[in-house]
């Protein structure tokens, strides 16, 4: 891979598996030999807790601390605040301070690009950076989309989750038009899938047949109680239930993401060759 890939994992609807996807895709990519940084861009700190930090508000340094250095144009060490996790990924944690930081961004020049400015330097140390976005379309989510190369959208296969995709698409389109012309949508990842229900089958079938230009990943993440337990114990699914169906699905999903990257790289080389 020629450069670091920054992926925003987002959906304004809560409870669709954003954090679970960030953790398990990140660990799966690390198991494939990739250098991975996970960024918790949500003041609720779900990603931070899911990585085993039970009291994120007690942390001296978090994402808000680092971004404040950017806003204040202060020098800082690139690795400040980064936690090296025993499952092979790095984590830049979050806590409630990010909420007040986001409010303060209103009066900041180039407020949509603060996270992008931070990643500009830190990207040299990683192959993948995954940003776990908050369940809203606020300023921190706009920062994540402005900084990202692409977007992965976890979504449950039900009417309300799918209905909410339209608003997210408009936000992504606005960010692409005004702030980040290179932003691409990797696709929608179907999560918490219970393939036994007729409703799930109908929604999935409809999405795959009428999605148009919107990619629906082949991999589907099945519903599992074991997966829900992971955030409580601060481990990935690979540590908690390595032989289970969810671990298998996230392995497959990581390979799908990597394969998609190879296809894009080969296409770019081909196009450059033609020119």
pLDDT of residue 200: 80
In this structure, of 135-149, 198-212, 248-262, the range with the lowest mean pLDDT score is 198-212
Please give the pLDDT value at position 101. 96
Angstrom distance (rounded) from CA 266 to CA 260:
10
pLDDT of the residue at 194: 86
Q: Burial of 210 by CB count in 10 Å (0-12 exposed, 13-18 middle, 19+ buried)?
A: exposed
Residue 212: band (very low, low, confident or very high) from pLDDT cuts 50, 70, 90: low
Across the chain, mean pLDDT equals 91
**With 90 as the cut, is the pLDDT of residue 161 above it?**
no
pLDDT band at 14 (very low <50, low <70, confident <90, very high): confident
263 vs 26, residue with greater confidence: 26
Q: In 10 A of CB 52, how many CB atoms? A: 17
Query: Range with the lowest mean pLDDT among 15-29, 32-46, 154-168?
Result: 154-168
- For the chain, give the percent of residues with pLDDT over 70: 94
pLDDT tens for each residue of 52-90: 999 999 999 999 999 999 999 999 999 999 999 999 999
What is the domain-level CATH number for residue 56? 3.40.50.300
- pLDDT value at 1 more than 60: no
Q: Are strands 150-155 and 216-222 parallel, antiparallel or unpaired?
A: unpaired
CB 93 within 8 A of CB 40: yes
Residue 268: pLDDT band by 50, 70, 90 thresholds?
low
Domain span at residue 82 reads 5-274
Split at pLDDT 50, 70, 90, the class of 140 is very high
DSSP string, the chain: --S-EEEEE--SSSSSSHHHHHHHHHHHHHHTT--EEEEEE-TT-HHHHHTT-S-GGG-S--HHHHHHHHHTT----TTTT-EE-TTS-EEE---THHHHHHHHGGGSTTGGGHHHHHHHHHGGG-SEEEEEE-SS-SHHHHHHHHH-SEEEEEE-SSHHHHHTHHHHHHHHHHHHHHT-TT-EEEEEEEEEE-TTSHHHHHHHHHHHHH-TTS-EEEEEEE--HHHHHHHHHT--HHHH-TTSHHHHHHHHHHHHHHHHHHHHHHHHHHHHHH-
| Domain total in the chain | 1
Checking if the pLDDT of 275 tops 80, the result is no
- 123 pLDDT tier (thresholds 50, 70, 90): very high
Q: What is the pLDDT of residue 267?
A: 61
Residue 186 has pLDDT above 70, yes or no: yes
- The least confident of 111-120, 187-196, 242-251 is 187-196
Strands 5-9 and 150-155 turn out to be: parallel
Give the distance, in angstroms, between the CA of residue 98 and the centroid of all CA atoms in the same chain.
Answer: 17
């Amino acid at each position: 891979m020629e450069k670091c890939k920054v992926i925003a994992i987002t959906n304004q609807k809560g409870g669709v598996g954003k954090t679970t996807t960030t953790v398990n895709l990140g660990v799966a990519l690390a198991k494939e030999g990739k250098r991975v940084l996970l960024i918790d861009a949500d003041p609720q700190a779900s990603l931070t807790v899911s990585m085993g930090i039970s009291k994120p508000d007690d942390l001296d340094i978090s994402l808000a601390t680092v971004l404040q250095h950017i806003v204040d144009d202060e020098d800082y060490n690139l690795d400040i605040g980064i936690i090296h996790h025993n499952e092979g990924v790095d984590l830049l944690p979050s806590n409630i301070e990010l909420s007040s930081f986001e409010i303060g961004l209103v009066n900041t020049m180039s407020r949509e690009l603060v996270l992008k400015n931070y990643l500009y330097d830190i990207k040299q140390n990683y192959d993948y950076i995954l940003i776990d976005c908050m369940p809203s379309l606020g300023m921190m989510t706009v920062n994540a989309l402005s900084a990202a190369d692409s977007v992965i959208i976890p979504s449950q296969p039900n009417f309300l989750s799918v209905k909410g995709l339209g608003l997210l698409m408009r936000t992504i389109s606005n960010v692409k038009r005004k702030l980040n012309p290179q932003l691409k949508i990797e696709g929608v990842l179907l999560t918490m899938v219970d393939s036994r229900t007729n409703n799930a089958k109908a929604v999935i079938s409809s999405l795959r047949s009428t999605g148009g230009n919107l990619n629906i990943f082949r991999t589907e993440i099945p519903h599992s109680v074991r997966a829900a337990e992971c955030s409580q114990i601060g481990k990935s699914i690979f540590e908690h239930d390595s032989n289970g169906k969810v671990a298998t699905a996230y392995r497959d999903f990581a390979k799908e993401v990597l394969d998609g990257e190879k296809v894009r790289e080969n296409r770019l080389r081909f196009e450059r060759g033609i020119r």
